[in-house]
Structure 1
Amino acid sequence: MRSLKAPYKDWRRRRALERGGVRPDLVVPEAIALGERSGTWVFDPRGLGAHSIVYSGGVGDNVAWDLAVIERFGVTVHAFDPTPRSVAWLARQALPERFVHHARGLAGADGERRFEAPAKERSANYTLAVDGTGDGPLLPVARLATVARELGHARIDLLKLDVEGAEYEVLADALEHGPEFDQLLVEFHHGEGPWRLEHTLRAVAALRANGLRLFHVSRRGLELSFVRA
């Protein structure tokens, strides 16, 4: 059960976004929500089908959204997560062929990056070590442009990012170097680690400048949904 403090904290996040000009640009009446726990995402289902290109960055131990999208729309979901607990958890699951796991993380550059293990032993949410130091695992990462080129995808129909703070560098790189994406579901992490509200405001401004329009802000004020309009 959420404590009484949680709704107030959520309201403060949403209010801070509104003060920064982050409020929906348009209404998408057809929008639906799928997923479970903190992995519930609101998106525009129009046009999604078996030939749609769907990327899911950061899956941890929650693929409820990915599986629901596969079942409902017949899409193939390319999931990116190199972290040990996620890889081990995924290996124990009975996953459909259309769930394609790539044991690489998404980042703003290709190569290897240091990750920090979650504080909670049961959590699967690793984070990129911002300064590259620490005793966490060194794991492979790649730019969206790199993985899209390798997979033969000129553009992405639906991109979901839940990458524990790496979204800022992933989006900045993708907006400059591609590929284009028609819809974005992203959890921002301002208020955690070095990330501040200003980082999210700049990211939202860059997305809008590149033709994406905000149509949903979650109750927590962290998950945002954009569509190209």
Structure 2
Amino acid sequence: WRRKSQWPALSQIMYCINTAQRRTETNLSPRWHIDIEPWASERRSLEDEARRFLKYITTPQVSISKGGDEAMLTDAKGAWAVCLDPQYSLTHSIKGKHCRVYSFGLGADDWSLEQSLVRSGCDVHCFDPSLKQSHLQKAKMWLHRLSVDWRDPNPALVAQHQHANTKKLATILNDFGHRRVDMLKADMESAEWKILENLILEGVLASVGQLLLEVHLHWAGFEVPGDEPSVVRYWFSLLKELEHANFRLFHVHSNPSKPRVFLHKNIFNASSAYTLSWVNTQWP
């Protein structure tokens, strides 16, 4: 028997239950909703939510230092960054000649990062629904007239043999016979929030080594409901889900060519677009 003083405190029990519950829910596939973080303050104001969110996306969580200047590979503008620090696995995948990259965009005019990864030995799949041909191959770079979405196409279109140029990432991986992607790059023009939510809910993030994402903040994004404070709280909750999935932010770039607009307002002089790069610290 334990003396009463040796019994665990109720707060300790509840912490263990909540931690176990989160871990269990993370392993379930699919989930039905993300975990919404508490409000930034009791005021539930746009300013407080924006302050917390902007601090979060502009504060790298890990330092990419080993390997010096060669620890990071960027595009010509320095916006998109890939972590080549040997403490993480991408550099080892490249050396082992089994590196796979997915790049999603619309009418992309700068593929310098993708071409650098091809030269490094990666198999690079570029997805762009605006391509004239359904599939092209150039050396180790494949071009596909396809893009990622947070839902699969209407089954009626498939039954009528109509071409569907958007699919969920889980469906694309399955169609291509790929179990994992070392690096996923996506510029989805305000669809990124719902796509990220889908990756979280379906457990697809475990198949991704690095995530490079441009986020757009001038409006809520496609099918993101709620008032302005709730929208920013939802954005923040999605990024905290990434953290719970072992992703750590290592690079942030504010696009100087974009207007300083945050949900149709000028708040803290924030840019309307940021490019963020995360590394999965538990990969593979």
Q: Scaled by the length of structure 2, what TM-score is found? A: 0.57
Residue from 29, 36, 43 that aligns with 2:82: 43
Report the counterpart of residue 60 of structure 1 in structure 2. Answer: 107
- CA drift at 1:184: 0.6
Report the counterpart of residue 156 of structure 1 in structure 2. Answer: 181
Change (3 A) 1:197 1:217: farther
Deviating more after overlay: 201-210 vs 144-153:
201-210
Confirm whether residue 103 of structure 1 aligns to residue 145 of structure 2: yes
Q: Secondary structure at the match of 2:216?
A: coil
- CA drift at 1:222: 0.4
Letter paired with 1:54? V
Instruction: Give the whole-Å Cα distance in 1 for the aligned partners of 2:220 and 2:112.
Output: 27
Tell me which protein shows more helix as a share of its residues: 2
Where does 1:166-205 land on structure 2 (aligned, <5 Å)?
166-179=191-204, 180-192=207-219, 194=221, 197-205=232-240
Instruction: Give the whole-Å Cα distance in 2 for the aligned partners of 1:219 and 1:226.
Output: 15
Report the counterpart of residue 64 of structure 2 in structure 1. Answer: 28
Q: Secondary structure at the match of 1:153?
A: coil
Task: Among all aligned residue pairs of Structure 1 and Structure 2, give the percentage whose two residues are the same amino acid.
Answer: 26
Report the counterpart of residue 227 of structure 1 in structure 2. Answer: 279
Residue from 107, 120, 128 that aligns with 1:81: 128
Which consecutive residues of structure 1, in runs of 5 or more, have no partner in the other structure? 1-13, 113-137
Contact 2:137 2:143 in 1 (8 A): no
Instruction: Give the whole-Å Cα distance in 1 for the aligned partners of 2:167 and 2:220.
Output: 22
Report the counterpart of residue 19 of structure 1 in structure 2. Answer: 55
Change (3 A) 1:107 1:205: same
Q: Secondary structure at the match of 2:189?
A: coil
- CA drift at 1:140: 2.0
Report the counterpart of residue 128 of structure 1 in structure 2. Answer: none
Change (3 A) 1:24 1:156: same
Structure 1, residues 18-48: CA drift from partner, whole Å, max 9, x if none? 43575211101143232234x8411112224
Letter paired with 2:102? Y
Task: Give runs of ≥4 in structure 1 deviating > 3 Å.
Answer: 14-22, 192-200
Tell me which protein shows more strand as a share of its residues: 1
Q: Secondary structure at the match of 1:163?
A: coil
Letter paired with 1:165? S
Please provide the CA RMSD for this pair.
2.8
Contact 1:183 1:228 in 2 (8 A): yes
Confirm whether residue 206 of structure 1 aligns to residue 254 of structure 2: no
Which protein is bigger by CA-based radius of gyration? 2
Which consecutive residues of structure 2, in runs of 5 or more, have no partner in the other structure? 1-49, 85-90, 155-162, 225-230, 256-272
